[in-house]
Chains A and B, each alone.
Chain A
Amino acid sequence: MENLVEAKALTKHFGTFEAVRGIDVEVRRGEAFGFLGPNGAGKSSTMRMISCVSGRTGGELKVLGMDPDVDGPKIRARLGVVPQLDNLDTELTVRQNLQVYGRYFGMSRQKCREKATELLEFAQLSDRADHEVEPLSGGMKRRLTIARSLVNDPELLLLDEPTTGLDPQARHLLWDRLFRLKQDGVTLIITTHYMDEAEQLCDRLVVMDGGRIAAEGSPAELIGRYSTREVLELRFQPGAPKPDLERFAERVEVLPDRLLLYTQDGEHTLGKVHEAGVQPVQSLVRRSSLEDVFLKLTGRTLVD
């Protein structure tokens, strides 16, 4: 299968600070690829290098088979970029934002007009077409930014934290749009620090922390490799000493407010905990998630 992105030992330094410390990544055509990691992991720095905006400090990088240092503008002509922070032109209307952006790609005015109408429909913003950008809600602005990134029919769409800061409803609406794009064959690269987003959207992902890649695989593979099938969460009175329950599970994580017991059968483990006379305030059995994978790999939680 053809790789749209190939990075080997890719690094990015800011002065003496190493934001990206040698990562290997391959993104295949047609897949949705994720970078999952907490703030400061180096996700945005990586995305800016892939989007051929920022030069690399070291290593190799090929995007669409070309070297960004040599063919930056040519590659960017075929990419769509949704940056972490919206940079819509708030002095223009919603529709003008799309039309003007299309012109940056050298499209004819006629084509830009058609594309704008089509994308307004896609982003469910047709009724706002001739409004100012500023009063739009966060979710609407995000949808407009995504619409804008599609103006040149990109083969590869880069989304840097597409839903951070949005309410659940706005997030689901956005995910729905991204699913559609995936179905239309657009290759997606998504960064996120939400494990549910990564699980929902990504075929394959890397867990990134401190500028390095900690693990790589599909969400199911990663969970299978680094976690158990189920997790038993136990809450105790704040300040109360937490009992030692190592013997009941394959692994125990101690968080400030609760204990996580990694086990194949949560209910069964809960029964044994009760038998042993341990009385948690609250208990919950759930399936393992990427959050658990991250915890196992780094010893920290994703969102603090």
Chain B
Amino acid sequence: MQTLKASWFGFEKHWTWYRRNWRATVVTSFLTPVLFLLALGIGFGSQVQSTALIGGVPYLQYIAPALVVVTALQGATFEATYAIMSAFLWQKTYVGMVATPITPAQVLYGQVLWIGAQLFARSAVFVVIAVLLGAAAGPGLLWSVPLGTLAGLAFACPLIAYSARLDKPDSFTTIFRFVLMPMMLFTGAYFPVSQLPDWLVPLVWLTPAWHGIELARGTAFGTLDLLPALGHIAFLTAMTAAGIALAVKTFHRRLAV
């Protein structure tokens, strides 16, 4: 109870900031889905022959649920890198917080809560725009909102634990280029992973993106069985939980010295 309240105060701080600065973020959260859906779904998609492999649906509708997940992952990556480092090193806001009754772990929970809320809001905006652009095959696309959020958190939490250990941001560009980019491109968002060379597929299974996309697309088209669905959710939840557990350790080590 105490922990929940304390974490909420951390969330509130971000909300206070957001109330003043939402205009700056709103452009990205609206523009990204519009651009992606227009360029890839409608533009590029007009040249793509729908096949049995993608379920015989229009390409625009095929990629829509996956794009929700991909956008969430992208957002998660930014929220879990520079923002975290700044709160430790540059602005030192975390340092200020732990001088109050709030503990390092609660600082982390508040941060995760805020990232989750943002991912949820972004994903919801994405789905609304997808509906407006005719990218929704049915109401099942709504599932992409919580599922995109979960996939985003599954990536964000371990990444927070990593960022919290760093003293300089140099490795972030490497993560953007060699982890985020391939993960966005090769995990089934734009084409089925069965088209990938066999040796690459097990690697794909380890990404939160693949599990998230499988879930979002499966629920959007009603093609997902319960057992695999639970498996994917279990994987993403485990990644989130492990990330949080690791991050609690690093936050404590870093803030309580």
Whether A53 pairs with B93 at a CB distance below 8 angstroms is no
A88 at the interface (CB under 8 A from B): yes
Whether A76 pairs with B96 at a CB distance below 8 angstroms is no
Whether B101 pairs with A91 at a CB distance below 8 angstroms is no
Q: How far is the CA of A83 from the CA of B103 in the complex (A)?
A: 17
* Contact among B99, B100, B101 for A83, CB-based, below 8 A: B99
Q: Which B residue sits closest to A149, measured CB to CB?
A: B99
A11 at the interface (CB under 8 A from B): no
* Contact among B12, B91, B101, B103 for A100, CB-based, below 8 A: B12
In the complex, which residues of chain B have a beta carbon less than 8 angstroms from the beta carbon of A105?
A: 100-101
Whether B101 pairs with A53 at a CB distance below 8 angstroms is no
Contacts A14-B257, A103-B9 given; indicate if A53 touches B98 (C-beta within 8 A).
Answer: yes
In the complex, which residues of chain B have a beta carbon less than 8 angstroms from the beta carbon of A51?
A: 99
A210 at the interface (CB under 8 A from B): no
Whether B100 pairs with A104 at a CB distance below 8 angstroms is yes
Q: How far is the CA of A54 from the CA of B256 in the complex (A)?
A: 4
Whether A53 pairs with B16 at a CB distance below 8 angstroms is no
In the complex, which residues of chain B have a beta carbon less than 8 angstroms from the beta carbon of A152?
A: 100
A72 at the interface (CB under 8 A from B): yes
Interface secondary structure of B, over-half rule: helix
* Contact among A55, A85, A99 for B92, CB-based, below 8 A: A85
* Contact among B12, B20, B98, B255 for A103, CB-based, below 8 A: B12
**B1-39: which residues lie under 8 A (CB-CB) from chain A?**
5-6, 9, 12-13, 16-17, 20-21
In the complex, which residues of chain B have a beta carbon less than 8 angstroms from the beta carbon of A90?
A: 91
- Size of B's binding interface in residues, CB under 8 A: 24
Contacts A87-B96, A90-B91 given; indicate if A104 touches B101 (C-beta within 8 A).
Answer: yes
Q: How far is the CA of A79 from the CA of B102 in the complex (A)?
A: 13
Distance in Å: Cβ of B134 to nearest Cβ of chain A: 38
**A64-114: which residues lie under 8 A (CB-CB) from chain B?**
72-74, 76-77, 79, 81, 83, 85, 87-93, 96, 99-101, 103-106
Whether A77 pairs with B101 at a CB distance below 8 angstroms is yes
The interface centre, meaning the residue of A51, A83, A87 with most chain B CB atoms within 10 A of its CB, is A87
Contacts A89-B91, A92-B16 given; indicate if A104 touches B97 (C-beta within 8 A).
Answer: yes
Q: Which B residue sits closest to A109, measured CB to CB?
A: B12
The interface centre, meaning the residue of B9, B13, B97, B101 with most chain A CB atoms within 10 A of its CB, is B101
B229 at the interface (CB under 8 A from A): no
In the complex, which residues of chain B have a beta carbon less than 8 angstroms from the beta carbon of A89?
A: 13, 17, 91, 93, 96
Q: Which B residue sits closest to A151, measured CB to CB?
A: B100
In the complex, which residues of chain B have a beta carbon less than 8 angstroms from the beta carbon of A53?
A: 98-99, 255-256
Distance in Å: Cβ of B153 to nearest Cβ of chain A: 23
Contacts A76-B101, A100-B12, A105-B101 given; indicate if A87 touches B92 (C-beta within 8 A).
Answer: yes
B95 at the interface (CB under 8 A from A): yes
Contacts A54-B257, A92-B16, A100-B13 given; indicate if A106 touches B96 (C-beta within 8 A).
Answer: no
Q: Which B residue sits closest to A81, measured CB to CB?
A: B99
A-B pairs, top 10 by smallest CB distance, nearest first, are A87-B92, A104-B100, A87-B96, A73-B101, A81-B99, A77-B101, A103-B9, A87-B95, A100-B13, A91-B17
Residues of B within 8 A of A (CB): 5-6, 9, 12-13, 16-17, 20-21, 91-93, 95-103, 255-257
Between A and B, 5 residue pairs with Cβ closer than 8 Å are: A48-B257, A51-B99, A73-B101, A76-B100, A81-B99
